[in-house]
Amino acid sequence: MTSTLMIVQIILAILITITILLQKSSSIGLGAYSGSNESLFGAKGPGGVLAKATFTLGLLFILNTLALGYLYNKQNTRSVVDTLPKTEQKASVPSPAATPAAPTAPVMPAENNKS
User: Which H/E stretch holds residue 20?
Assistant: helix 2-22
- Cα distance between residue 18 and residue 11, in whole Å: 11
What pTM value is reported for the model?
0.51
The closest of 68, 95, 90 to 4, measured between CA atoms, is 68
Amino acid identity, position 30 = L
**Model pLDDT for residues 76-88, shown as the tens digit of each residue:** 777 777 788 877 6
Angle CA(97)–CA(100)–CA(101) in degrees, nearest 5?
100
The yes-or-no verdict on residue 29 having pLDDT over 90 is no
Q: What is the pLDDT of residues 6-20, one digit of tens each?
A: 999 999 999 999 988
For the purposes of burial, counting CB atoms within 10 Å of the CB of 57, is it exposed (0-12), middle (13-18) or buried (19 or more)? Answer: buried
**Torsion-angle region of 102 (φ positive above 0: left; ψ -120 to 50: alpha; else: beta):** beta
Identify which has the larger pLDDT, 38 or 92.
92
Q: 49: pLDDT confidence band, cut at 50, 70 and 90?
A: confident
